[in-house]
Amino acid sequence: MLDMNFIRNNPDKVKENIKKKFQDSKLPLVDELLDLDKEYRSIKTTDDDLRGKRNLISKQIGQLMAQGKREEAEKIKAEVKEIGETIANNEVREEELAAQIKKIQMTLPNIIDDDVPIGKDDSENVEVKRFGEPVVPDFEIPYHTDIMESFNGIDLDSARRVAGNGFYYLMGDIARLHSACLAYARDFMINRGFTYCVPPFMIRSEVVSGVMSFAEMENMMYKIEGEDLYLIGTSEHSMIGKFINSILEEKDLPYTLTSYSPCFRKEKGAHGIEERGVYRIHQFEKQEMIVVCKPEESHEWFWKLAQNTVDLFRTLDVPVRMLECCSGDLADLKCKSVDVEAWSPRQKKYFEVGSCSNLTDAQARRLGIRVNGENGKYFAHTLNNTVVAPPRMLIALLENNLNADGSVNVPEVLWPYMGGTKVLVPKK
C-alpha cells in the first residue's frame, strides 16, 4: 500500500508506475484518490476548527449562568449543540471517505524498482544467470508421474475419488524422498542462521488482505465456511502476519525465519489444475523463508534469499537458473521479484520451482508493522522466498538423477534423511 503523502507529492510517478505494469484501467483511480483525499482533509480541518470553537464558547455557558444571563447561555447551548451535530455528520462522511481512500490505496500497485525489466507478462521475463550445466541424457525420460508410478510412489486415481483433481497420494520411497527434501531444506536454512518455525495454517481476513492483493486472494485462497478464517496458500502469509500491528525494536532486526507448512490453493486462472501430473495442484507442502528488516537492507537481503534457493538445488545435483520478473508479471505488492527455475531434461527447458520477492513496505503498511528506530518510527520491509516446494521440486530431482535402467540416484546430502539409501530401485 502506497503512502498517501507519497501519492500526493508524486501523482505522475504513481501513474507512470501503473503504465509500466500495463494496468492503465487503474490510472483514473489516482485522480479519484486525490479528490477524495482533498475532501477528507478539508472536512478534518473544518471539524478541528469546529471543535476548537465549541470548546471555547462552551466555557462561556457557566460564566453567563453565574451572571444570571440565562437567555444568552441558552443561545450558546443551542449553538454548541448545532456544532456537535455538524461534527457528527462530518464524522460519518469522514469514515466513508477513509474507507474509499484505503480501498483505492490497496488497489494501486507498489512502486517497482528502477531496474525491473518492462514487459507485459512472464514471456518477457529476463534470465539473470545459470547455475550448473543442463544435461539431456541419451535415453528417454518418462513423464514425472510415470517415474513415480514405477516405484509405486503415487496414486492419483484414489486421490481423485477421495478429493477430486489436484490431489495425490505419495507412497513408499517417493513419499520418503518428499519428506527427506523438506527435512534437508529445513536444516539447510537453519545452518544459514534462520530460525525454524511451524506457523498456523489458517489466518484471519485482516491478515489475508494485508499480505496480498484482492485479485490474488480471489484466485488463491480457500475460505472456511462460517468462520473468519482462510487456509494459507503459503506459510509466508502467516509468517508475515505474525508481526501484525507490532512495533519492533530496530536493534532486533532483521528477523530471519524459515517455516514449514502445507499450502492450499484454488489455482484459478489461465494455468488450471493438471489431471495427470503434480506440477500445479490444490495441496502441497513447502519450506519457506521470510525476512523483516530495515529499508536500507532489503535490497541486499533480496539477493541473499534468492541465492539460498540456488545453492540448495545445486546440492541436489539440479541445474537452475535465475529469471527476473518483468513489470507486468509482478504481483501488485511486489517491488522486485526473481523466479528460480530448475532444468527439466525431459522437456529440455527450465520450469519454476521458487519465487523470491521484495515487497518493500507494502505489506508492513497494510499490517501495521512498524520499527522503533533512533530517529522515530518507520515501516519495516518484508521479503519472502521459496526454499523447496515438493512435489514440484521432486520432478526436478527425479528427472535430473534418473538412470537409464529407471533407478534414481539419491543426492548425497539426502542420504542421512533416507536411512542411508543411495539409489531408489523401481518396483516395476
Name the pairing type of β-strands 376-379 and 381-388: unpaired
CATH number of the domain encompassing residue 178? 3.30.930.10
Same domain, 313 and 419: yes
Same domain, 79 and 153: no
Number of CB atoms found within 10 A of residue 219's CB: 15
Same domain, 154 and 264: yes
- C-alpha cell read off for 55: 470548546
Which of 54, 80, 105 is the endpoint of a domain?
Answer: 105
Whether the per-residue pLDDT at 352 is higher than 60: the answer is yes
> Residue 32 is part of which domain span?
4-105
> Which residue in 393, 361, 407 sits closest to 178, CA to CA?
393
pLDDT for 326: 98
User: Is residue 116 domain-resident?
Assistant: no
> Which residue in 108, 101, 113 sits closest to 24, CA to CA?
108
Which of 75, 105, 135 is the endpoint of a domain?
Answer: 105
Q: Which residue has the higher pLDDT, 227 or 74?
A: 227
pLDDT in tens, 128-179: 999 999 999 999 999 999 999 999 999 999 999 999 999 999 999 999 999 9
**Residue range 78-84: average pLDDT?**
91
Same domain, 304 and 379: yes
pLDDT in tens, 32-51: 999 999 999 999 999 999 99
Same domain, 398 and 249: yes
Same domain, 91 and 185: no
Given pLDDT bands bounded at 50, 70 and 90, which one contains residue 88? very high
Distances (CA, A) of 391 to 117, 170, 176, 182, 224: 30, 9, 12, 10, 25
C-beta separation of 57 from 76 below 8 A: yes
Task: For residues 408 and 403, give the distance between their C-alpha atoms in angstroms, rounded to a whole number.
Answer: 6
User: Is residue 113 domain-resident?
Assistant: no
CATH number of the domain encompassing residue 94? 1.10.287.40
User: Is residue 290 domain-resident?
Assistant: yes
User: Is residue 93 domain-resident?
Assistant: yes
pLDDT in tens, 279-295: 889 999 999 999 999 99
The residues, ordered by sequence, that sit 6+ positions from 146 with a Cβ below 8 Å of its Cβ are: none
Given pLDDT bands bounded at 50, 70 and 90, which one contains residue 268? low
Single-letter amino acid code for the residue at 129: K
Same domain, 100 and 226: no
Same domain, 306 and 234: yes
**Looking at beta carbons, which pairs linking 189-195 to residues 24 or more positions away fall under 8 Å?**
189/258, 189/287, 189/289, 189/308, 189/387, 190/258, 192/308, 193/256, 194/256, 194/257, 194/258, 194/289, 195/255, 195/256, 195/257, 195/258
Domain count, the chain: 2
What's the chain's average pLDDT? Answer: 94
Same domain, 37 and 74: yes
Whether the per-residue pLDDT at 373 is higher than 80: the answer is yes
Chain CA centroid to CA 246, Å: 18
User: Is residue 117 domain-resident?
Assistant: no
User: Is residue 60 domain-resident?
Assistant: yes
**Residue range 200-224: average pLDDT?**
89
Same domain, 68 and 166: no
Which of 76, 105, 134 is the endpoint of a domain?
Answer: 105
Same domain, 127 and 93: no
Q: Which residues, in sequence order, are bridge partners of residue 283?
A: 264
User: Is residue 168 domain-resident?
Assistant: yes
User: Is residue 115 domain-resident?
Assistant: no
pLDDT in tens, 250-266: 999 999 999 999 999 98
End-to-end CA distance of the chain: 54
Same domain, 261 and 319: yes
